[in-house]
Amino acid sequence: MKMKNPEVAKLLRMMAIYLEMKGVSFKPQAYEKAAYSIEALDEDIEDFVKKKGKEGLKNLPGVGESIAEKIIEYLKTGKIKELEELKKEVPVDVETLTSIEGVGPKIVYKLYKALGIKTIEDLEKACLEHKIRRLPGFGEKSEEKILKGIQFYKQGGQRAILGFIIPAVEELVNYLKESGLAKEVVPAGSYRRRKETIGDIDILAVSDKPEKLMDYFVNFEGVEHVYAKGPTKTNVRLKIGLDADLRVVPEESFGAALAYFTGSKDHNIQMRELAIKKGFKLNEYGLFDKNEKRIAGRTEEEIYEKLGLEWIPPEMRENRGEIQLALEHKLPKLIEYGSIRGDLQVQTNWSDGQNSIEEMVEEAIKLGLEYICITDHTKSLAVAGGLDEKRLLKQIEEIDKLNKKYRGKITILKGAEVNINKDGSLDLSDEVLAKLDFVGVAVHSHFNLPRKEQTERIKKALSNPNVHCLFHPTGRIINKRPAYEVDIDEIIDFAKKNNKILEIDAYPDRLDLKDEHIKKCVEAGVKMVIDTDAHSVLHLQFLDLGVAQARRGWATRKDILNTLPLKEFLKYLESIKKK
């Protein structure tokens, strides 16, 4: 069972929030770090503790004596006493409140002490009654910002972020498969389409013992609440904060049900119309001819074939023209999972990453990568411990040494995530930038510039001849912060004309570029790279999440440069400089 890992991580994060609230120093960061470690642990935390005990826990990044004890306490008793006490002392909905942009733990504490604010509704009301601006340390601007944050949260805050829930859903699906009670178990819906956020999980099964399967399903450890239970459909709430449906469908309808429940809804509507045009009827039970005879339904493939369509990958089923292409047998051959050869955005403990260069490199080797580019932050991002010229030159030396050590195993490229100044200039000298293999630039400040100014600022940064790539091009953080105002079409056009690369940042809550932007890049012939923006060894596994996003944007292998072997990748970088 891996199901307890997200729970434990969540509680550690909660501890971090409460400790920060109380103004405790250092400890909150340790709890955050520990939460990361537990979240992406390859093993169930309970098994791990059974095997390796407290000492094993203490070997994980961020976990010291006291955190290890708390984890063990939770696994034994289902509670962390200190956390329970902290919650009693400040009984507010910290999880929701701190999800609002601009509202951190300390602000939550102040708001509770001054105005008794416990929930997002309380906070919204206080904003609307202009109570916030009158508090010491707040003003009209911060009140407006909080209100905006609340509105943004309400629009999307409830959907789960795909990359964060995949392990838990896989766990559930494996659990169902292991029951021996089902012939098929497949998650459909937005999860199968690899949409960046997920409303709920729709699982389909074929079983000749549906009652037993449903009993087994509701006994899953990760189930928090059962809304409704029947032999064909059962609907539950999972502890990770997401609903899941399990539907048992007849075997001869499995493919039809899978197609139907994979969606999207708009795609389904088009498919049904196409079937009608061809004289058939299509629904979740099958494809039927004029005499109501089922002519396909066991598999998705046979349905597509009978309709004269190429099989459409789930990531494309959004009614963006894919059905027409499938009719003409002209679907693009999407980039395949596992085809990225090198990660190109990786932070280390030289700036705000949690691991050393060597640790990141070792992990990349384990994952089978051919190259990895180290891109620490640069000096003006002081909060992240950004590197100045001197330190970057030192890092270059260090990488030269490590490349000798790792020869034949992996190549470490020298790079940086260079901060763009307000005026579009860069915060490192050209002389040092010229020594790097791969240079990405990024906006980390002045998110609120007017659209035109922001667009010009980014274009100016990109126009530096030492710069190859724009990192996380729109700056959004899913469920937290909207993209800054920027004319993405103009950026794409500029990238095309100047041979610049746009990044698909695969970190789960970034996924920036978005699918629709990727599609525009593909159409415009702008090259992209997929990388993880890792700040820990645990993040390097997110590459395929970026591939999923790229597939949703119809990208093929040739659109994504780091599918290339190292030599060809470097040759490409050289060639764009000469153009």
Binding region for ligand DGT (CB under 6 A): 189-190, 195, 198-200, 202, 260-261, 263-265, 268-269
For 437, which DSSP code?
A: S
Nearer to Ca ion, 257 or 521 (CB): 257
Minimum CB distance to Ca ion, residue 197 (Å): 10
Minimum CB distance to Ca ion, residue 261 (Å): 8
Nearer to Zn ion, 360 or 384 (CB): 384
Residue 348, C-beta contacts closer than 8 angstroms, at least 6 positions apart = 355, 356, 357, 359, 360, 374, 376
Tell me which stretch binds Zn ion (CB under 5 A): 170-178, 343-351, 389-397, 446-454: 343-351
Residue 112, C-beta contacts closer than 8 angstroms, at least 6 positions apart = 90, 92, 118
Q: Is 508 in the site for Ca ion (CB under 5 A)?
A: no
> What are the angstrom distances between the C-alpha of 28 and each of 17, 34, 98, 509, 534?
7, 10, 14, 21, 20
Which one of Zn ion, Ca ion, ligand DGT, none interacts with residue 5, CB within 5 to 8 A by kind?
none
Tell me which stretch binds Zn ion (CB under 5 A): 6-14, 173-181, 384-392, 449-457: 384-392
Nearer to ligand DGT, 22 or 159 (CB): 159
Which one of ligand DGT, Zn ion, Ca ion, none interacts with residue 440, CB within 5 to 8 A by kind?
none
Per CB under 5 A, which of residues 194..213 are in contact with Ca ion?
200, 202
Q: Is 352 in the site for Zn ion (CB under 5 A)?
A: yes
DSSP 283-343: ETTEEE-TTS-EEE-S-HHHHHHHTT-PPPPGGG-SSSSHHHHHHTT----BPPTT---EE
Q: Give yes or no for a cis peptide into 425 (omega within 30° of 0).
A: no
The residue from 189, 210, 386, 473 that contacts Ca ion (CB under 5 A) is 189
Minimum CB distance to ligand DGT, residue 186 (Å): 13
Q: Is 29 in the site for Zn ion (CB under 5 A)?
A: no
Minimum CB distance to ligand DGT, residue 195 (Å): 6
Nearer to Ca ion, 263 or 386 (CB): 263
Which one of Ca ion, ligand DGT, Zn ion, none interacts with residue 265, CB within 5 to 8 A by kind?
ligand DGT
Residues in a beta bridge with 378: 387
Minimum CB distance to Zn ion, residue 347 (Å): 5
Per CB under 5 A, which of residues 514..553 are in contact with Zn ion?
none
Burial bucket for residue 202 (CB in 10 Å: 0-12, 13-18, 19+)? buried
Please state, in angstroms and rounded to a whole number, the distance separating the CA atoms of residues 232 and 250.
10
Which one of Zn ion, ligand DGT, Ca ion, none interacts with residue 389, CB within 5 to 8 A by kind?
none
Please state, in angstroms and rounded to a whole number, the distance separating the CA atoms of residues 275 and 273.
5
Which one of Ca ion, Zn ion, ligand DGT, none interacts with residue 562, CB within 5 to 8 A by kind?
none
Sheet holding 281-283, edge to edge: 281-283, 286-288, 294-296
- Residue 575 has phi, psi (to 5 degrees) of -65, -35
> What are the angstrom distances between the C-alpha of 398 and each of 94, 319, 369?
42, 50, 20
Nearer to ligand DGT, 199 or 313 (CB): 199
**344: enclosing H helix or E strand:** strand 342-346
DSSP 70-126: HHHHHHHHS--HHHHHHHHHS-S-HHHHTTSTT--HHHHHHHHHHH---SHHHHHHH
Which one of Zn ion, ligand DGT, Ca ion, none interacts with residue 352, CB within 5 to 8 A by kind?
Zn ion
Nearer to ligand DGT, 140 or 266 (CB): 266
Tell me which stretch binds Zn ion (CB under 5 A): 7-15, 103-111, 257-265, 383-391: 383-391
Which one of Ca ion, Zn ion, ligand DGT, none interacts with residue 498, CB within 5 to 8 A by kind?
none
Which one of Zn ion, Ca ion, ligand DGT, none interacts with residue 268, CB within 5 to 8 A by kind?
ligand DGT
Nearer to Ca ion, 171 or 202 (CB): 202
Minimum CB distance to ligand DGT, residue 188 (Å): 7
- Report residue 53 as tokens: 């005990």
Nearer to ligand DGT, 188 or 374 (CB): 188
Residues in a beta bridge with 512: 505
Please state, in angstroms and rounded to a whole number, the distance separating the CA atoms of residues 499 and 579.
8
Tell me which stretch binds Ca ion (CB under 5 A): 18-26, 50-58, 192-200, 502-510: 192-200
Minimum CB distance to Zn ion, residue 434 (Å): 23
> Helix, strand, coil % (nearest 5) of the chain?
50, 15, 35
Nearer to Zn ion, 387 or 501 (CB): 387
Q: Sign of the CA dihedral 42, 471, 548, 478?
A: positive
Minimum CB distance to Zn ion, residue 353 (Å): 7
Per DSSP (E only), the strands in 360-425 are 371-374, 411-419
Minimum CB distance to Ca ion, residue 202 (Å): 4
Nearer to Zn ion, 248 or 540 (CB): 540
State the number of binding residues for Zn ion (CB under 5 A).
Answer: 3
Minimum CB distance to ligand DGT, residue 518 (Å): 19
Query: Radius of gyration over alpha carbons of the chain, in Å?
Result: 25
Please state, in angstroms and rounded to a whole number, the distance separating the CA atoms of residues 342 and 347.
14
Nearer to Zn ion, 377 or 514 (CB): 377
Residue 184, C-beta contacts closer than 8 angstroms, at least 6 positions apart = 204, 205, 206, 251, 254
Q: Catalog residues that contact Ca ion under the rule CB under 5 A.
A: 189-190, 200, 202
Q: Catalog residues that contact Zn ion under the rule CB under 5 A.
A: 347, 352, 384
